[in-house]
Every structure is written in structure tokens, then in C-alpha cells.
Amino acid sequence: MKEGGLRLLTPGEIALARGVFRNTIPWHKVWIHRDSYLPFGLQSRNAAMAPNGEIYFRNNYRDDFSKESIALQHIFIHELAHVWQREKGMNVRIRGLFSWAADYTYTLGERFLNEYALEQQAQIIADYFVLDKFGYQSWLDGKRYFGITCLNDEPEALIRSRYAKVLLLF
């Protein structure tokens, strides 16, 4: 698709995302843009944004994220987490204005998902997606090579139990 185009989610993307969000997102309303959300193309070419229930990609746009690398699926799930947050009533657009200054890192501990900041929530969901779908080694690789921002350095069983607690009410 050329810059400026948009499309709905593919069946593969919906199946992938349903494994995480079940039916809490109206899949038929989520548009994927290959464009800048910000005027005059001010959205960074390597950034994705989902301020209004739709997702805006530039360089990282793909025709079907369900067929892409773990790293790109991680970004896709992170952005869908912002769509989910918006569906839950969070003001993603206003809070997202400050995402450039947000801390995406987190430590799994005694808190539930809703007690973390907006970007940390999206990271937790996307990071757990990698652990659950691709396994602990891929999750560890993600800490080194792409976007996984969990600061815990613990054995797999403990990491899984910590995510289970944090995501208990998700």
C-alpha cells in the first residue's frame, strides 16, 4: 500500500489479536493507516501511533502483521493495546501526547495492569504476548534485540507467574 492509504484489519490480524484481547475491541472498526497521524508528516517514520482507535504506521507498515516477524507483531500488539485502552475509556490521545517522555520500562511486582502508566500497560501486554506465543527464549531475545522493556531478570516460571498476577484483571 502506498503512503496515505488505509485498510481494515486482516482475518489473520484479527485471529492473532483475539488471542490477546478476546472480543474487547470492535475489530470491524479498527483501521490501519500507512500515514502520519500528525500533520505535515511530523510522525517519526519509525514510530507507530494509535491515538484515536486507529493505528498509524509509516516505515513499519505491513499488509498483514500476522505474517510478520516477532518484533513487528510486538509493535502491532502494543498499538492494539492503545486501541483497547481507548475502548476501556482511557484518554489515549491526550496521554499519548507525552509518550515521547514516557518510561516504557517496568518491573513486574505487586501491582495490577491498571496501576501502571499508559505506555507501560501497552508494553506489558505486548511483552507477555511474545512470552506466551513464542516462548521464554524469544522473550529474552526481545529484551536484547527489540522492544521488550521488562526489567525483571528472573527464571521463566517466576516471570510467567508475575505476568499472571499483573494481568489477572485484564
**Residue 12 is assigned to a structural domain of this protein:** yes
Count the domains in the chain: 1
What pLDDT is stored for residue 43 in this prediction?
A: 87
Cα atoms in the 13 Å half-sphere on the side-chain side of 158? 8
- Confirm if 50 and 35 have CB atoms less than 8 A apart: no
Residue 133 lies in a domain: yes
State the residue range of the domain holding 54.
6-166
> What does the pLDDT profile of the chain (170 residues) look like in tens digits?
999 999 999 999 999 999 999 999 999 999 999 999 988 888 888 989 999 999 999 999 999 999 999 999 999 999 999 999 999 998 876 655 555 567 899 999 989 999 999 999 999 999 999 999 999 999 999 999 988 999 999 999 999 999 999 999 89
The contacts of residue 14 (CB under 8 Å, 6+ apart) are: 27
Q: How far apart are CA 22 and CA 30, in angstroms?
A: 15
Beta bridge partners of 55: 32
Residue 94's pLDDT is 61
pTM comes to: 0.94
Q: Is 77 exposed, middle or buried (0-12, 13-18, 19+ CB in 10 A)?
A: buried
Indicate whether 1 belongs to any domain.
no
The answer to the question of residue 141 being in a domain is yes
Q: What is the pLDDT of residue 142?
A: 96
pLDDT at 101: 60
User: Can you tell me the distance from the alpha carbon of 139 to that of 152, in angstroms, rounded to the nearest whole number?
Assistant: 12
- Which positions are catalytic? 79
